[in-house]
Structure 1
């Protein structure tokens, strides 16, 4: 268990993850950015170059432009620390015009204010397919 900061409630972390889903589906890039701490890092997918600062806002703007929609495949899961994870399918249409689906599990770490400091998305080449 982390000793750096007080452990957040499960409800706080789960609400933040649910807000991430809702704001993605609403096309709310600014609302998505507001869920993240100023020093946040996004690694989506794990193994790709981390996104920080203005790269995060640009990445969410692209997600909105590509019509990203998240479909949860189970409830948000908490932890005994300041982390939560959720499994979902995301569909979007990149510039090539072919709508895709990615099956992902996102793991989020939170600061003491309930802001996301780290988002790591676990998906690989075998988790991408055409959307139907």
Structure 2
């Protein structure tokens, strides 16, 4: 099981890679068979190809992420972060919950946000 330190570092690397405009750095944090549910309630995106396309589009949008609080670990294989997505003319407040596999890669990402978390 990955350590809290590993999971926290991975989530910081996620934010840093996204903000650097490097979707490949973000995708490298995920397992090949990972799933993304963004937002929770939408059908999951599954597999490296779909995840690569998802992050390429999001990074290309010009969105930037800023942590609202420090990344949180757990006594298990899950970590979470509260952050704000800043885009031209829009802000979304999000909590991502990431589950890690035995190799320390993200196996599941679930983004918690709803319509009342979006500001124009």
What TM-score comes out, normalization by structure 2 length? 0.96
Give the aligned partner of residue 108 of structure 1: 98
> Which of 17, 41, 49 lines up with 1:47 in the alignment?
41
Q: TM-score, normalised by structure 1?
A: 0.87
Alignment deviations for residues 76-98 of structure 1 (CA, whole Å, 9 cap, x no partner): 001110000000001124xxxxx
Cα distance per residue 1:94-126 (max 9 Å; x no partner): xxxxx3111000000001111000000000000
Superimposed CA distance per residue, residues 22-80 of structure 1 (whole angstroms, 9 cap, x where no aligned partner): 00100101111101000100000000110012211111011111012001000000111
Gaps of at least 5 residues in structure 2 are none
Structure showing greater Rg: 1
Pairing partner for 1:17 from 2, 6, 11: 11
How many residues of Structure 1 are paired with residues of Structure 2 in the alignment? 119
SS of the residue aligned with 2:97?
strand
Number of the residue aligned with 2:62: 67
- Which 4+ runs in 1 deviate beyond 2 A? none
Instruction: Give the CA RMSD over aligned residues.
Output: 0.9
What is the alpha-carbon distance in structure 1 between the residues aligned to residue 75 and residue 112 of structure 2? 20
